[in-house]
Structure 1
């Protein structure tokens, strides 16, 4: 009888040990992240942030974390941590007090073009040629599209006369198709996706070959450890060639590759 009792106690101890290990193997609360990210903009963010290139890069760079995406307009992402609704921000533009947060390596790039309605005959050979047109961009685009664009289209600059900023990519594309005189500055992959969804053909537009920089973004984190873990995971995606494979999977040009 004594031996049977000892065996039962030993079995219970083993089972308790396995249960404790299983619990400890799950991400703790400190490994949970609420990430403020833009509203759907395929192929980068799609299906309410359940898939897309940008979503996949974030998830695969932080495999040990439990991540919840909070979708916001572009203008509302930069203060999501200040407002306490997130502890990480995608597409980060540095805050007024950058020392409060931890910034990652560049993790995503958007390949931008100036696009107009076919048949308008607009001569757009430089950023200067955009001045005077009905220009449709995203919120705070002047901060990331290069020094010449910033000079001409910052708030109170001369080029802002016919300048429209939208809060998400879908509204930006819809605004373009509703205004036959407009020019849109946008990532070509995003423009194609939303235009096709709305029943428009790329044969109805002209793509102007002016130099616009690939806009590369960092993540901003409230905690240093999460930032460091993200950078390590991102570096691994790059070194294994997985980042390049994801670009192919989502039909994003090689030019958007942020890997060193």
Structure 2
């Protein structure tokens, strides 16, 4: 009996040692956005998207390596195998770039608006209204936001994109562009940051037009196993209220 007990104990110890060794040594390289606060805050390895991914995968023992890249470089890094996972994906971008992998459940949504200075007295009611105005958007929006948006942008000779979303806010208040298109949280964050400096005056009234609606996004994984684990953990985060806490953390 004593011998059997010792054998069982030895087996249990060896099993947990093997499991811990396998899990603790496994890293996941993830490509996040570069200038996307409060969704991604590079200086502190935090932000809504970063916190969400780590909250999902850390309990399983994975260590997350962060790569912060502009949108186009994120896609390229995934294609050539430099990263295991890429953020800010939807079916449009996956199809456009012919990306191979396993798409997660929808993990978060941007709320995109068209912003303009109130003094200009614009009254936009549809996306096509923007084609006659200088418009600065974020990198690859023309790919990410669907056919109607792409048609408007392609018919606008004064349409531009930038990877630096803080620059969009600056350009609006400097009146270099009549309209900018971006997520409301990102706009509010960079406007507040800009207001702390004396560089640009930001206290003028700004109009925002809900022409685009929510932009659902998720993660694209090289590994089906990791994707399935993430989906399970994402559902768990939502069921326990932890997901909502992460979303509220940066408001």
1:49, 1:55 within 8 Å by CA — same for their partners in 2? Answer: no
TM-score (norm 1): 0.79
For the pair 1:84 / 2:85, whether they are aligned, the reply is no
Corresponding position of 1:52:
47
Matched-pair contact (CA < 8 Å) for 1:145–1:213: no
**TM-score, normalised with respect to structure 2:** 0.82
The 1-side partners of 2:146 and 2:245 are apart by 28
Q: Give CA deviations for 1:172-193 in whole Å, capped at 9, x if unaligned.
A: 3233333344211111111111
What is residue 97 of structure 1 aligned with on the other side?
A: 98
Query: Is the contact made by 2:26 and 2:63 (CA closer than 8 Å) also made in structure 1?
Result: yes
Aligned to 2:118: 118
Contact 2:142–2:149, Cα closer than 8 Å, also in 1: yes
Aligned to 2:141: 141
Q: CA RMSD in A?
A: 2.6
Task: Give ranges in structure 1 of 5+ residues lacking alignment.
Answer: 1-9, 252-260
Structure 2 unaligned residues grouped into runs of 5+: 1-5
1:258 maps to: none
Q: Is the 8 A contact 1:117 1:181 kept in 2?
A: no
Alpha-carbon displacement from aligned partner over 1:15-42 (angstroms, at most 9, x marks no partner): 9x96984574255477311001101422
Q: Distance in 2 between matches of 1:126 and 1:137?
A: 16
Structure showing the higher helix proportion among its residues: 2
* Structure-2 separation of matches of 1:142 and 1:175: 19
Whole-angstrom distance in 2 between the partners of 1:74 and 1:120: 31
Deviates more, 1:64-73 or 1:39-48: 39-48
- Which has the larger Rg? 1
